[in-house]
């Protein structure tokens, strides 16, 4: 239990879990845009609000600047005459109102950089050396937003339009500058409220996204859990049916591959069961004969010695048969082993064929079968001598066994630059066409009783085929019932290790 939780936690931390990946992707995809959006909205608002504020104040200052010029404020600011005093008071009140309204300070500066009016009343009469003012006097407009210290500074030229020429080339003369700095506190306040509100929305969004990601990551990975469950059911042995999880193309592919594997395993299992049944049957038959023979001897009291002798000979031949089956089975099992211990060496195939035929000729002679050997060229190939001997012996022996009296067996050897061909043809009983595909099966015999009579186990061709395949070769057969058969083996001259 702990190991499972620990395993899942480890997988989650290493991001190997699909569920965690989906969760993380949805969360990131949902939350990051909302954070970026909040930043963009707040920043955008700030820029917009500052520009708005500047143009609003500039407009009002422009009105004041017209009043200033109309009342000759710049010239008469020192005059004590009642008429000027009154008009000055009006303009001062206007300036005062602007500075109060925007929590700022307005300074009127004339062209000689002297401060004529400061709404703070600190710099009246002083000379101001400021880059912005000088640039404004030159006709450039400078606005500056100091976010850190929380103010906006702007310069507004006071333009005497009467100096404008008629062609419109000159718009007027800059006779002074209004240097205004206003607080950005109201903008900041609005921004903070905006930020607070969007933060709440963002937090809500994160909660919703976490929930959404959690649900989706579970729902989207469910089919994979179903695949695992279905496979586990099969593994536990509760079911051996083909499974089906068609939710995604991916799960369908996994399940398809698994079903194919299951099918292959079933075929394998069936053939294993069949093989075991066949082996038991084959091994039981000689034993049963031995028992019958021994029992009948035991049942007869005072049985003559000749009868004993005769029965004992039969018993020995049954034991020989049993031993032959076991030898063949062992040979077959050895071939079936995946780690095949082939003893590859360069071998003269002509010599090997001659040797095998020499060994088999006595059997052929017994049945009056003539064995001929035709070699087209000397063949030297990289093969396993023991297995090659098995291949050749089995094929030639079969051709002798399943032949007619006074028949013939022809062995041919040929080679091209890549393969050598070993062909055995005979004038034997032949194999019916519909049986041809079965002759390589273990324990398969065309004529069971005849085959047993002549000592066949039904394993010879299965062993031969395995040995040929181990050499990466091929075996083919053509046969006409009652006329004869022809087996052809093709094996590469040089062994190709896999
Ligand atoms: P067995 O030990 O019975 O000979 P094999 O595996 O060598 O088993 O052969 C399988 C069957 O194929 C044999 O029982 C026989 O009926 C048939 N067979 C094999 N070789 C020949 C042949 N040259 N001519 C006719 N039938 C053959």
Q: What angle do CA 337, 338, 342 make, to 5 degrees?
A: 80
Q: Are strands 115-118 and 104-110 parallel, antiparallel or unpaired?
A: antiparallel
Q: Where are the beta strands (DSSP E) in 203-272?
A: none
**Ligand 1: nearest atom to the Cα of 457:** 2
**Ligand 1: nearest atom to the Cα of 459:** 6
Q: What angle do CA 427, 429, 435 make, to 5 degrees?
A: 125
- Residue 352 in contact with residue 388, Cβ under 8 Å? yes
pLDDT at residue 167, rounded to an integer: 59
Q: Is 446 in the pocket of ligand 1 (CB under 6 A)?
A: yes
Query: Which residues of the chain have a pLDDT value below 70?
Result: 1-2, 4, 7-9, 11-14, 163-170, 337-340, 450-452, 498
In angstroms, the Cα distances linking 25 to 15, 214, 224 are 11, 11, 18
The structural domains of the chain, ordered by start, are: 27-190 (3.30.450.20), 280-335 (1.10.287), 339-492 (3.30.565.10)
Structure tokens at 484: 């004869």
pLDDT at residue 2, rounded to an integer: 67
The alpha carbon of 221 and the centre of ligand 1 are apart by a number of angstroms equal to: 56
DSSP 253-271: HHHHHHHHHHHHHHHHHHH
CA–CA distance, 79 with 83 (Å, rounded to integer): 9
* Element of type H or E holding 145: strand 143-146
- Residue 132 in contact with residue 179, Cβ under 8 Å? yes
The alpha carbon of 452 and the centre of ligand 1 are apart by a number of angstroms equal to: 11
Structure tokens at 95: 């300036």
Q: Is 461 in the pocket of ligand 1 (CB under 6 A)?
A: yes
**Residue from 423, 461, 489 to probe ligand 1 pocket by mutation (most atoms less than 8 Å from CB):** 461
Residues found in the chain: 498
In angstroms, the Cα distances linking 345 to 335, 350, 388, 394 are 18, 15, 11, 21
In three state form, how does the secondary structure of 307-365 look? HHHHHHHHHHHHHHHHHHHHHHHHHHHHHHCCCCCCCEEEEEHHHHHHHHHHHHHHHHH
Q: Is 184 in the pocket of ligand 1 (CB under 6 A)?
A: no
pLDDT at residue 237, rounded to an integer: 82
CA–CA distance, 335 with 338 (Å, rounded to integer): 8
Nearest CA to ligand 1 atom 23: 399
The alpha carbon of 119 and the centre of ligand 1 are apart by a number of angstroms equal to: 123
The alpha carbon of 411 and the centre of ligand 1 are apart by a number of angstroms equal to: 17
Residue 481: φ, ψ to 5°:
-60, 130
pLDDT at residue 339, rounded to an integer: 46
- Residue 392 in contact with residue 356, Cβ under 8 Å? yes
167 alpha carbon, distance to own chain's centre: 77
pLDDT at residue 1, rounded to an integer: 61
CA–CA distance, 346 with 383 (Å, rounded to integer): 6
- Residue 354 in contact with residue 466, Cβ under 8 Å? no
In DSSP terms, 68 is beta-bridged to none
Nearest CA to ligand 1 atom 19: 398
Nearest CA to ligand 1 atom 16: 446
355 alpha carbon, distance to own chain's centre: 57
Instruction: Report H helices in 337-447.
Output: 349-366, 385-401
Q: Are strands 408-415 and 370-375 parallel, antiparallel or unpaired?
A: parallel
Q: Is 427 in the pocket of ligand 1 (CB under 6 A)?
A: no
3-state SS, residue 100: helix
Please, what is the end-to-end C-alpha distance for the chain in angstroms? Answer: 44
385 alpha carbon, distance to own chain's centre: 46
The alpha carbon of 378 and the centre of ligand 1 are apart by a number of angstroms equal to: 29
Q: Is 398 in the pocket of ligand 1 (CB under 6 A)?
A: yes
Q: Are strands 419-426 and 408-415 parallel, antiparallel or unpaired?
A: antiparallel
pLDDT at residue 493, rounded to an integer: 96
**Residue from 400, 424, 445, 484 to probe ligand 1 pocket by mutation (most atoms less than 8 Å from CB):** 445
Q: Smallest Cα–Cα separation from 442: which of 418, 463, 471, 422?
A: 463
CA–CA distance, 231 with 219 (Å, rounded to integer): 19
CA–CA distance, 378 with 208 (Å, rounded to integer): 84
């Amino acid at each position: 239990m702990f190991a499972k939780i620990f395993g899942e936690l480890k997988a989650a931390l290493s991001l190997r879990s699909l569920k965690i990946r989906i969760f993380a992707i949805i969360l990131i995809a949902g939350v990051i845009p909302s954070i970026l959006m909040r930043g963009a909205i707040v920043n955008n608002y700030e820029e917009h609000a500052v520009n708005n504020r500047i143009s609003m104040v500039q407009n009002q200052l422009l009105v004041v600047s017209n009043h200033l010029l109309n009342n000759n404020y710049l010239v008469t600011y020192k005059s004590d005459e009642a008429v000027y005093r009154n008009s000055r008071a009006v303009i001062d009140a206007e300036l005062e109102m602007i500075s109060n309204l925007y929590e700022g300070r307005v300074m009127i500066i004339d062209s000689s950089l002297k401060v004529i009016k400061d709404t703070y009343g600190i710099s009246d009469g002083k000379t101001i050396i400021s880059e912005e003012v000088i640039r404004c006097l030159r006709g450039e407009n400078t606005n500056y937003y100091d976010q850190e210290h929380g103010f906006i500074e702007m310069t507004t030229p006071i333009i005497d339009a009467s100096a404008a020429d008629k062609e419109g080339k000159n718009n007027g003369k800059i006779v002074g500058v209004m240097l205004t700095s206003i607080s950005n506190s109201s903008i900041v306040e609005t921004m903070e409220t905006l930020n607070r509100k969007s933060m709440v929305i963002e937090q809500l969004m994160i909660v919703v996204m976490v929930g959404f990601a959690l649900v989706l990551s579970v729902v989207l990975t469910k089919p994979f859990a179903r695949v695992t469950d279905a496979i586990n059911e099969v593994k536990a042995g509760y079911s051996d049916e083909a499974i089906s999880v068609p939710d995604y193309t991916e799960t369908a592919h996994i399940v398809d591959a698994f079903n194919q594997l299951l099918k292959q395993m079933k075929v394998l299992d069936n053939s294993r069961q069949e093989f075991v049944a066949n082996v038991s049957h084959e091994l039981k038959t000689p034993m049963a004969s031995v028992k019958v023979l021994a029992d009948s001897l035991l049942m007869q009291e005072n049985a003559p010695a000749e009868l004993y002798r005769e029965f004992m000979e039969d018993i020995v031949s049954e034991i020989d048969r049993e031993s032959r089956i076991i030898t063949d089975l062992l040979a077959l099992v050895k071939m079936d082993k995946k780690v095949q211990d082939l003893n590859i060496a360069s071998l003269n195939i002509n010599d090997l064929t001659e040797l095998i035929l020499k060994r088999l000729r006595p059997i052929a002679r017994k049945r009056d079968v003539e064995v001929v050997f035709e070699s087209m060229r000397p063949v030297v190939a990289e093969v396993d001598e023991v297995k090659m001997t098995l291949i050749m012996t089995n094929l030639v022996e079969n051709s002798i066994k399943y032949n007619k009296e006074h028949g013939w067996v022809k062995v041919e050897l040929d080679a091209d630059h890549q393969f050598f061909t070993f062909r055995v043809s005979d004038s034997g009983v032949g194999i019916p066409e519909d049986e041809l595909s079965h002759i390589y099966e273990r324990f398969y015999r065309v004529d069971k009783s005849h085959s047993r009579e002549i000592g066949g186990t039904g394993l010879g061709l299965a062993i031969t085929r395995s040995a040929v395949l181990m050499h990466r070769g091929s075996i083919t057969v053509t046969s006409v019932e009652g006329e004869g058969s022809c087996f052809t083996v093709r094996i590469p001259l040089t062994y190709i290790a896999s």
